[in-house]
Amino acid sequence: MSQGDLARIPDCIMRHIEQLGEGRHGVGQNCGDTQDEAAQSTSPPLICGEIRLTEEEAGEIRRFFEKYRDAAVEKPRDGARGRMIVAPRRYERLGESFYLEFEALAFL
């Protein structure tokens, strides 16, 4: 599959992705570990954290994670982060918010 064939992260996630932290092995914003602990990990980097979504956004993200979990997808350039190839790993409802986790596969 060429890079142009990759699915893209939906706009409803992209609107919130700057709220997500960066880390390794499950650490990042709202993940409870320090940057030093994250730097010592040998696991691939993650984009992860807790965000608030509307019910419509939550449904779209749930469908996206069900379809593409652990598959390579493209994260377009946004704010401070460049384009990346990521794999959706975890989606979990936490009361009125949601925890999202993407594994970074490549930085473009």
CA distance 108 to 97: 30
Count structural domains, the chain.
Answer: 1
Query: pLDDT tens-digit profile of 23-77?
Result: 654 444 444 444 555 455 556 778 888 888 888 988 998 999 999 999 999 988 8
In the numeric block, which tokens belong to residue 26?
């499950």
What is the reported pLDDT for 72?
92
Q: What is the pLDDT of residues 10-27, one digit of tens each?
A: 888 888 877 787 765 444
Closest by CA to 31, choosing from 41, 40, 22, is 22
- Which residues form the domain of 67? 3-107
Identify whether the C-beta of residue 76 lies closer than 8 Å to the C-beta of residue 8.
yes
- Confidence (pTM): 0.71
